[in-house]
Chains A and B, each alone.
Chain A
Amino acid sequence: MRPSLQRHRSVLDFALSSLLRRKGRNLALTAVYTLVVFVLASLVFFVQALKHEARELLEHAPDMVVQRMVAGRHDPMPASQVEAIREIRGVEEAEARIWGYYYDPVYGGNLTVMASQDPTLAPGSAWIGRGVARNMRVAEGDMVPLRGYDGLPILFTIQKVLAEDSELVAADLVVLAPTDVRALFNLPEGLATDLAVRAGNPRELATIASKIVEKFPDARPILKAEMLRTYEAAFDWRGGLMVVVLASAILSFIIFAWDKATGLSAEERKEIGILKSIGWESGDVLLLKFWEGAVVSLAAFLGGVLLAYGHVFFFSATLFEHALKGWSVLFPRFRLIPALDAYQITVLFFLTVLPYTAATLVPCWRAAMADPDSAMRS
């Protein structure tokens, strides 16, 4: 074995025996450190996967949704506007969407009721999301009553429960025939909730949007890019969920590193003094402390990241479930697809391992520079 490698190995042996001498303290330290990395990594993995999923799915959303605004609120759109928008040059397809919200008084959940032109969906039948089926405890072939605008229940036969893997977009969906949605919400013929537009050339979207606003000043076009930006912003580093968890995790890490950086225990000073008095150089002492820090921080980093991966992608981020649920009665159950990013893992590494190692080395360097005699006496 090369002498330099042999030297490192001997120092590592000494560092490990030094760590084992203070077993309880170092185990507690590694556990706390792992926990901090676990929380941070879970959050990064979760948010990254959600953002990626939103990007991949909303790529297939309509290029633009046009709403009609009345007194600052979203209002149904007359068919005449739909026709006029369809005729704008560059609009390839414009489809009126009929949808709304339904509060289920029995289970207290909010459902999204949507009309589908699918010919296999017969009037009087419904396709329901897995979350709705779970909450209402119904299955295919069962009947579900929905209370109409006049308070009278309308019965629908469940034709299909949407697949389990669709929960991320459709857990709360109730898909009905257009006539049924109109009957349920008392939405007259000739009115639609909004308009989904697909453009032949996505570069023309901004022009199409400005033409729509010019023609109908009460229209509000929402471009696909804006829909995507909504999710980018919701799960951004700077806002929302990230800030809430990240702030507390980073704060606890700062306190933890600060405690480490503010000084060594008398026992550690004495140890450094003894090592120097028996011939160790300052460089050797620093190497010893580097290995001690590296063992703890690398173990915590690798352990924390692996646990976080399992938590998010095998156990569906159960710890974040309560934060996401809020007051929702109907909550989707989904398994995210990992979207690991080398940049995120590197940031996590530099955010956790480097500050800790630096925080360990600085006080040791100060102690190693001191006179061995005074270090032993202190």
Chain B
Amino acid sequence: MRPSTLCVTLFGTLAALFAGMLLHARGRQATATRERAGRVELVRSLGLTDLCLFTEARYTRHPAMADRHAAFQDHPMALDHFPSGSLLAPPPFPSSHAPIPPATSQRP
């Protein structure tokens, strides 16, 4: 057998597996609503606001509800305590570091 025939067969198999992967993903997406129903019901009934990904600290468990100064919420110079603090970027809320307009004094 010519090496090119073997190579084309190998790539054909890989391409078929790749197509199978896309079909599998599409199939899971089609049943996702049913699969997700239990989670959706919990979110709706309990009014949940965050995913349960990091449970080690308040501001990593509920990043959407965390104080604006998380992760430095214990005091301004506090270093972050947990490794996931380096993985979670601060939320893009209106920045507390936005330039403050110069104070204006009103003359009587």
Contacts and interface: CB of A to CB of B under 8 A. Distances in A.
Contacts, number: 206
A110 B56 contact: yes
A61 B38 contact: no
Nearest to A172: B55
Interface string B1-33: 011101100110011011001101100110010
A54 B39 CA distance: 11
Given A61-B47, A62-B49, A338-B29, A169 B42 contact: yes
B65 A53 contact: no
Contact of A58 (B49, B68, B83): B49
Nearest to B86: A244
Interface string A191-202: 000101000000
Interface residues of A, number: 82
Contacts of A238: 89
Contacts of B69: 72
Contact of B45 (A57, A65, A116): A116
A240 B88 contact: yes
A332 interface: yes
Given A72-B67, A244-B87, A338-B29, A227 B50 contact: yes
Contact of B21 (A112, A306, A339): A306
Contacts of B40: 56-57, 60
B103 interface: no
A340 B22 contact: yes
A303 B21 CA distance: 12
Given A60-B43, A227-B50, A231-B51, A9 B4 contact: yes
Contacts of B48: 57, 61, 169-170
Contact of B52 (A20, A129, A240): A129
Interface in A288-338: 295, 298-299, 302-303, 305-306, 309, 313, 323-324, 326-332, 337-338
Given A169-B39, A240-B88, A324-B54, A65 B49 contact: yes
A74 B36 contact: no
A84 interface: no
Interface in B42-77: 42-58, 60-65, 67-69, 73
Contact of B87 (A57, A222, A226, A241): A241
Contacts of B46: 114, 116, 173, 175
Interface stretch (A11-19, A149-157, A270-278, A279-287): A11-19
B4 A13 contact: yes
A101 B58 contact: yes
Given A163-B38, A329-B55, A340-B25, A302 B18 contact: yes
